[in-house]
Amino acid sequence: MKARVSDDALALACGADAVAAALAAAGVAVDRVSSWGMHWLEPLVEIDGNGWGPVTPADVPALVAGLLAEKAIGRIEDNPFITRQARLTFARAGRTRPLSLDDYAATGGWNGLAAARALEASATTETVVQSGLRGRGGAGFPAGIKWQTVAAAPGARKYIVCNADEGDSGTFADRMVMEGDPYLLIEGMAIAGLAVGASKGFVYIRSEYPHAIAKLQAAVALSADIVAPFDIEVRVGAGAYVCGEETSLLNSLEGKRGEVRAKPPLPAHKGLFGQPTVINNVLTLAAVPFILAHGAKAYADFGMGRSRGTIPVQLAGNIRHGGLFETAFGITLGELVNDIGGGSESGRQVRAVQVGGPLGAYFPPALFDTPFDYEAFAAADGLIGHGGIVVFDDSVDMARQARFAMAFCAIESCGKCTPCRLGSTRGVETLDRINAGDNRAANLALVEALCDTMKFGSLCALGGFTPYPVLSAIRHFGEDFQSPARERAA
Ligand SMILES: Cc1cc2nc3c(=O)[nH]c(=O)nc-3n(C[C@H](O)[C@H](O)[C@H](O)COP(=O)(O)O)c2cc1C
Ligand code: SF4
């Protein structure tokens, strides 16, 4: 008998190591694999394609004796959570041993790089343009256009920088790629290097991801000969949300304070150490090997409108079936939250979801027919961001959430521009007055005016987008701002 247990950080946090040890003690050989992304079932044990979860060490004797029917989920590949997905980026999730070069090559690994090596660099960038791939870090900028700009920019040296800061609340897809399929990211970076003429890449990764750092460092060393002469260095950030902003990240990489730079110049023209630089999110780069291996059309055939391909949606917060769900763009928010996510974990009514991290809008169920698509979300004054969805049930106090959004901006502001640095602090004070019932109508008008100044006067999206959660809370959940917090709690 052979069992498979994930060594993804979430599985570990749920006790996967203890379960693996109990299986080994019972004489079962254990392979440590990547996670299927069904987080509510971790630690998930797979034997001959069938799954049991969540398994505890105490369950192991019954499992080995074939008596753990109450935790059996049948064939994992046939689980609706898996069959309803379109897994292009996460095709290997749950199926391979993360650091095994054999597993990677046996599942189509390095085919994209081989295709790029056989093409002119301009044909590679054109393939990425035609695929319609847009940046998955938040802004949704077309990846191929960015690559073409860097390829055409004069510079003594060019760089590929992978943004693995993944600071958005409720997101973990970058981490899952780096822990579960690290060669995929390395392959994507090497293809980008070939396309723009860069032989050096950096991965900027948050210090809060120790398992991903270790996996990626090991994978970089093990695959160095395969991607040579492209060379990758893993750099660990000190922990600041704003260091995910691309120019702030570049400053941090250069050893400077993580403060946002004014644009222009764009990083594509003058980026790391003043040289033309591609900065892409982990998911953007991890989508590239599929595109090169299977062609632009195979990717662009998924999606809707200008949102082509698939998006790894991350279901988090108060949700029954949290996890990683990769799907073509176009699925509605309601399908994701209710059909796939199974509604709230608490069993209470879902009242709000925040999509796109701490700068994303709060949507009520009335907006659940919004398709997951960059333009559709923008039209509803929201954003997809990095694809994270955080669910709240009807016990949430949206006036407190609005204050939280302002306070987050005040804490994380890099301090470079006034609307964000001072505006967010004044915003917290004003929201506190509203919550205390002090001159509510006038203070609400003041918050709206302040948000207008932040939106149009901030240098980067931290100050510029904080108004989205604040104003959406006021707009969709106005009743929470009409009585003091203590009355609402009563
Ligand atoms: C405050 C702030 C934080 C950000 N954090 C991240 C992050 O953690 N990861 C990321 O990929 N992009 C983040 N971004 C977006 C980056 O600035 C940039 O758009 C992205 O790295 C470009 O890659 P992409 O085109 O592949 O999305 C952030 C932006 C802002 C304004
Ligand atoms: S908006 Fe905030 S984080 Fe962005 S540059 Fe201005 S002060 Fe810095």
Q: pLDDT (tens digit, 9 = 90+) per residue, 79-118? A: 999 999 999 999 999 999 999 999 999 999 999 999 999 9
Which pTM value belongs to this model? 0.97
294-326: pLDDT as tens digits: 999 999 999 999 999 999 999 999 999 999 999
Ligand 1 site-directed mutation target among 189, 206, 246, most atoms within 8 Å of CB: 246
Q: What is the DSSP annotation of 296-314?
A: HHHHHTSEETTEESEEEEE
pLDDT band, very low/low/confident/very high, at 488 (cuts 50, 70, 90): low
Q: How far is the CA of 410 from the centre of ligand 2 (A)?
A: 10
**Which residue among 246, 252, 263, 420 has the greatest number of ligand 2 atoms within 8 angstroms of its CB, and so is best to mutate?**
420
Pocket (CB within 6 angstroms of ligand 2): 242, 260, 413-417, 420-421, 458-460, 462-463
- Look up tokens 């600041």; give the residue: 240
pLDDT in tens, 333-361: 999 999 999 999 999 999 999 999 999 99
Measured in angstroms, how far is the CA atom of residue 238 from the centroid of ligand 1?
16
Is 252 exposed, middle or buried, given 0-12, 13-18 or 19+ CB atoms closer than 10 A?
A: buried
CB proximity list for 15: less than 8 A, separation 6 or greater: 43, 56, 57
Cβ contact 132:300 at 8 Å: yes
Banded model confidence at residue 1, pLDDT cuts 50, 70, 90: confident
Q: What is the mean pLDDT of the segment spanning 135-142?
A: 96
**Residue 483's pLDDT is what?**
78
Whole-number pLDDT of residue 487? 67
Give me the DSSP letters along 422-480. HHHHHHHHHHHHHHTTSSHHHHHHHHHHHHHHHHHH-SSHHHHHTHHHHHHHHHH-GGG
Q: Is 139 in the pocket of ligand 1 (CB under 6 A)?
A: yes
Q: What is the mean pLDDT of residues 146-157?
A: 97
> Which residues, in sequence order, are CB contacts of 279 under 8 Å at separation 6+?
161, 162, 163, 246, 249, 250, 267, 271
Model confidence over 465-480: pLDDT tens digits? 999 999 999 999 999 9
Check pocket membership of 95 for ligand 1, CB cut-off 6 A. Answer: no
Given this model, what pLDDT does residue 489 score? 65
Ligand nearest to the CA of 263: 2
Percentage of the chain modeled with pLDDT above 90? 98
Residue 53: pLDDT band with limits 50, 70, 90: very high
Residue 484 has pLDDT above 70, yes or no: no
- At residue 209, what are phi and psi to the nearest 5 degrees? -110, 60
Q: How far apart are the CA of 285 and the centre of ligand 2, in A?
A: 26
Instruction: Report residue 238's pLDDT band, with 50, 70 and 90 as the boundaries.
Output: confident
Model confidence over 178-207: pLDDT tens digits?
Answer: 999 999 999 999 999 999 999 999 999 999
Q: Is the CB of 280 under 6 A from ligand 1?
A: yes
Q: State both tokens at 172.
A: 């973990």
CA 408–ligand 2 middle distance (angstroms): 12
Beta strands in 49-155, from DSSP E residues, in sequence order: 50-52, 72-75
Nearest residue to 52 via CA among 71, 79, 76, 27: 71
Report the relative pairing of strands 159-164 and 277-281 from DSSP bridges.
parallel
Q: pLDDT digits over 426-453, tens only?
A: 999 999 999 999 999 999 999 999 999 9
The whole-number pLDDT of residue 490 equals 62
CA distance 177 to 431: 39
Give 253's pLDDT tier (boundaries 50, 70, 90): very high
Q: Given the CA of residue 460, which atom of ligand 2 is nearest to it?
A: 4
